[in-house]
Amino acid sequence: MDEPFSGLETFGISTVSEVIMEKAEEGTNMIIVSHLWKPIYHVVNKIVILAGGKVAFVGKREEGLDYLQRIGI
């Protein structure tokens, strides 16, 4: 999914997040590209963070949150 929250208001973001969560619980594997990470953070198990067009981080969700906090995001 490429930017599934783009152009959506709060209700739309919540609705799309719920669908993503339902599919994840069903065991569906997804690749989601998004500038908004908070709506889906709780359902992902691995993340890739890009910075300046290059891979800056690859790892588990918890480690990714630590990385984001270290760089001030």
Domain locations along the chain: 10-70
pLDDT value at position 37?
80
Q: Provide the β-strand partners of residue 69.
A: none
pLDDT value at position 57?
94
Q: Give ∠ CA 14-12-40 in degrees, rounded to 5.
A: 40
Does this model's pTM top 0.85? no
- CA separation for the pair 39, 20 (Å, rounded): 10
pLDDT value at position 63?
92
Q: Is 47 exposed, middle or buried (0-12, 13-18, 19+ CB in 10 A)?
A: buried
Q: Which residues contact 32 (CB under 8 A, 6 or more apart)?
A: 1, 4, 20, 40, 44
**Residue ranges in the chain modelled with pLDDT below 50:** none
Look up tokens 């480690």; give the residue.
Answer: 63
